[in-house]
Structure 1
């Protein structure tokens, strides 16, 4: 009986599984946060220090300027705590986004991202896992910062629907800022450059309604404060925490529109950079 030799059959090529791959990269991002807690500590410590500084040092004087009829001292501190807490929650989300820029730059400059490109995984999962991981970290940090504000006397008036809307806004804001900062990290030539690139995002809340009403600003500065992204985002956060008091639908719509615009721009930019071969 004659035996016919046959060529070996190549194993089937593994196909990427987008959902499973994103979950794996999300787990990787969260494990990195556990193993390198410095970024997470910074994410929480910065807003906490600002909370204590602005309320107990400046709050007694600033409170009289943000709430009509409020006197300086303890009454002013309480008024300014109500005013500044929403701002610091937004800044916490911004801090999480700046951390993802550093993380993306580390992956790009150390070569691990180039290695991922050769593996049978969904191309978008590498960046999506990082983005989702830092959104989860930022939301956890929000709970700690809000808890500290409540311990200092802050009492939000939000109901269940307000809280649900607030969580949705912060998730949308986190996704938008993280995609933008991933792009900043991938476009940087070093980790140090990536850590400094998103600093403008941390400055914008100071140039808006975050710490003082825009009505107190001079003409040109006021115009910029009224038309930059963080003013409607902060005002929407402030209104939701106050139970919807004084919150205008147009302001909330502007906040959502800014988040969507920033997120789309960051996503398109980061995906383009990911596909591009990095030059030495």
Structure 2
């Protein structure tokens, strides 16, 4: 078989292993799946009446919940990879005729799969409780493409953190950082409701243009007043930048940690 064929086979095996591992940890697996539903109902029915501005709050909050759940899922990936390194399973894999790249690709692909499932739940529950995007098929495709790119970037970032953390406990703190950042963005309230110092941070961190691009593609307008095209360019720049830096960092860290 060719080198590419071996890479595909090894990666498929590693992806299957990571997904089976998720399924065999029902507490973490169902938490990741139930979290989007619980947060959706909480924000729409508990906080939505107070936060509603122009139109139903569910129309505003769906993009924010998608990135929030993506951050939580990426944190899970960092912990899983750090656990594998600490437990010695990665060394065992390296002693087998398995491509080293397949070990990382398996974690990232499994992360992408889990996060896309969580995204589908957010969209499904949102549609069930009244979210009504006013958009075309092409705009839907653009929004979904951006989601895939951003989740992929976060997954590689999580892989880099898992390799750098030195242990599952340190990697677990990454989850809280990624879950906190969407709160200081336009995920749940517009930035003009924030103090000036906090507003500056919220408007210039990576989650905000991602959220605003999705909001513009689905609902036809952004909460910042900027055009969807403007937000999309910034969102793509952040996503591609995070993906490139994280991929390079993760691959180099992995080679260094297994070079013995």
TM-score when normalising by structure 2:
0.91
Any idea what the Cα deviations from partners look like across 1:166-188, whole Å, max 9, x if unmatched? 22111111110011111111222
1:252 counterpart (226, 232, 240): 232
Any idea what the Cα deviations from partners look like across 1:121-170, whole Å, max 9, x if unmatched? 22211101110111011111111121111121111223211221122111
| 2:212 paired residue number | 235
Distance in 2 (alpha carbons) for counterparts of 1:106 and 1:16: 29
Gaps of 5+ in 2: none
More helix by share: 2
Do the aligned partners of residues 15 and 162 (structure 1) sit closer, same or farther apart at CA in structure 2, a change above 3 Å counting? closer
| 1:208 paired residue number | 185
How far has the Cα of 1:59 moved from its partner? Answer: 0.9
- Matched pairs, number: 253
Gaps of 5+ in 1: 1-13, 68-77
Any idea what the Cα deviations from partners look like across 1:90-148, whole Å, max 9, x if unmatched? 21211211110111011101111112222222221110111011101111111112111
Instruction: Verify the 8 A CA contact 2:212 2:228 in the aligned structure 1.
Output: no
Instruction: Verify the 8 A CA contact 1:16 1:121 in the aligned structure 2.
Output: no
Instruction: Verify the 8 A CA contact 1:16 1:120 in the aligned structure 2.
Output: no
For the pair 1:29 / 2:18, whether they are aligned, the reply is: yes
Secondary structure of 1:197's aligned partner: helix
1:60 counterpart (45, 49, 61): 49
Instruction: Verify the 8 A CA contact 1:106 1:191 in the aligned structure 2.
Output: yes
Larger radius of gyration: 1
How far has the Cα of 1:190 moved from its partner? Answer: 2.3
Distance in 2 (alpha carbons) for counterparts of 1:111 and 1:173: 30
| 1:109 paired residue number | 86
Distance in 1 (alpha carbons) for counterparts of 2:93 and 2:213: 39
- Alpha-carbon RMSD: 2.0
TM-score when normalising by structure 1:
0.84
1:169 counterpart (137, 146, 166): 146
Distance in 1 (alpha carbons) for counterparts of 2:102 and 2:60: 39
User: What pairs up with 1:142-157 in 2 under 5 angstroms?
Assistant: 142-157=119-134
Distance in 2 (alpha carbons) for counterparts of 1:196 and 1:107: 17
